[in-house]
Amino acid sequence: MTFYTYNYLNGGQTNWKLVRIVTVVILALGFLFFIFMFFRHRWDRKYKDLSIILGTLLLLAAAIQYSDFTNMRTASVQSGQLTVVIEKSAAKLDIKPQDISINDTSRNTDMIIKTPRGYYKLIFNGSGSEFLLEKADLYKPDVKVIGE
């Protein structure tokens, strides 16, 4: 069973944002360079072809970047919901949120938290606004904690 720490959920799970942005900037600069060279040397078709190729790559990279941005925004909202659940659980158990790990990165009905005091099952009400903590005993737990 895999658990995710409060710090892992609170911080970003990806470090590729900078690399992707640098890639899009390099493609944009290359595209502008070849467009400039095409207007400077109108009779040389290689600059036109290269600018079309880089323009297509730039559009593809921008579309991928936008798709990843929307996916990260959705994941961020879900992680934000989970951090609130962890903070409320920590308050109920009178421990620090950093000492709690949760077994999923998106909110569902079968969630378990790992604390220094043991494992607890989260039982949500019908609207999902409140929850009950129930002590749980895991049979031969194979626990992997991500974010420690």
Res. 56 pLDDT band, cuts 50 70 90: very high
Strands laid side by side in the 101-102 sheet: 131-136, 118-124, 111-115, 101-102, 2-5, 144-146
The confidence score (pLDDT) of residue 23 equals 85
> Could you tell me which residues are beta bridge partners of residue 104?
none
Burial class (CB in 10 A: 0-12, 13-18, 19+), 79: buried
pLDDT at 76: 64
Range of the structural domain that residue 67 is part of: 2-146
Q: What tens digit of pLDDT does each residue of 76-116 get? A: 666 667 777 888 888 888 888 888 888 877 677 778 888 88
Q: How many domains does the chain have?
A: 1
Token reading at 117: 């005091």
Residue with token string 């640098």: 22
CA–CA separation, 85 vs 5, rounded Å?
A: 12
